[in-house]
Amino acid sequence: GQQVMQIPQYQHVQEGEDFTTYCNSSTTLSNIQWYKQRPGGHPVFLIQLVKSGEVKKQKRLTFQFGEAKKNSSLHITATQTTDVGTYFCAGPGGGSNYKLTFGKGTLLTVNP
Amino acid sequence: ETGVTQSPTHLIKTRGQQVTLRCSSQSGHNTVSWYQQALGQGPQFIFQYYREEENGRGNFPPRFSGLQFPNYSSELNVNALELDDSALYLCASSTARGASTDTQYFGPGTRLTVL
């Protein structure tokens, strides 16, 4: 079945450092979504990418969808303590239109 | 806040028991998806309901069942609980039939512990 893999599993940074998490799918994706889950919280939608090579920015966050639509990345510039949490990518599962397959996520911790 | 509510917040059950979890979707949303999130893992899709009918199912056994009501609220029922069912159960509502292309608005989750 379709797999969505994320690396790294954990990332600890000093406040002000940059952070990047990578997402790779075993199949071509029609779109990819990114979610953030704070410790003890629930996933919150960040963004959806649809087009090959698409790049979207939200303040210090930059999201990219690969040309082959099989990988994606999230880059945070100058991390802040409020960025702490687990970042998940999610894509359509197994060709269905009803199922989202999530990666295992990257847990980001920030040392003030 | 998303407007999606879930009850109860926490639940402790013993192996073999049955449990019902509830979800109220965000106003205007007619689709509800249920996910199981084990500790340290990403959410795993259980099933989706659209306008009171099951629209799709993930790799979960039949003892996981659900309902959606005319007001689009939903229930997740799990029979014959096993220790591995201990997890955070999340419901997510959306406006479209098809979670893979629509933003999912997650509720706060129900933390189920099976002893």
pLDDT on residue A52 = 96
Non-local CB neighbours of A58 within 8 Å, separated by 6+ positions: A46, A47
Going by C-alpha positions, the residue among A90, A88, A87, A91 that lies closest to residue A109 is A87
Q: Which of A46 and B95 is assigned the larger pLDDT?
A: A46
pLDDT on residue A78 = 98
Q: Which candidate from A30, A45, A99 shows the least CB-CB separation from B45? A: A99
In the predicted structure, residue B58 carries a pLDDT above the cut 70: yes
Contact B108 A42 (CB under 8 A): yes
Mean pLDDT of B47-66: 93
Mutate: best of A86, A100, A106, partner B, most B CBs <10 A: A100
Mean pLDDT of chain B: 93
Q: Quick check: B37 and B43 in contact, CB under 8 A? A: yes
Q: How far off is chain A from B2, nearest CA to CA, in Å?
A: 9
Residue B78: pLDDT band by 50, 70, 90 thresholds? very high
In the predicted structure, residue B50 carries a pLDDT above the cut 80: yes
In the predicted structure, residue B98 carries a pLDDT above the cut 80: no
Distances in whole angstroms, Cα of residue A41 to Cα of each of A85, B16, B43, B105:
9, 28, 13, 13
Query: How far is the C-alpha of A23 from the C-alpha of A49, rounded, in Å?
Result: 13
pLDDT on residue B99 = 64
pLDDT on residue B96 = 73
Mean pLDDT of B52-71: 93
Length of chain A: 112
Residues of A (20-39) whose Cβ lies below 8 Å from B: 30-31, 33, 35
Non-local CB neighbours of A40 within 8 Å, separated by 6+ positions: none
pLDDT on residue B55 = 86
Q: Which candidate from B40, B48, B105 shows the least CB-CB separation from A98? A: B48
B45 chain-A contacts, CB cut-off 8 A: 93, 99-101
What are φ and ψ of residue A68, in 5° steps?
Answer: -85, 0
pLDDT on residue B27 = 84
Those residues of chain A that have pLDDT short of 50 are none
Mean pLDDT of B29-54: 93
Q: How far off is chain A from B14, nearest CA to CA, in Å?
A: 23
Distances in whole angstroms, Cα of residue B86 to Cα of each of A10, B11, B19, B39:
23, 10, 12, 9
Q: How far off is chain A from B17, nearest CA to CA, in Å?
A: 26
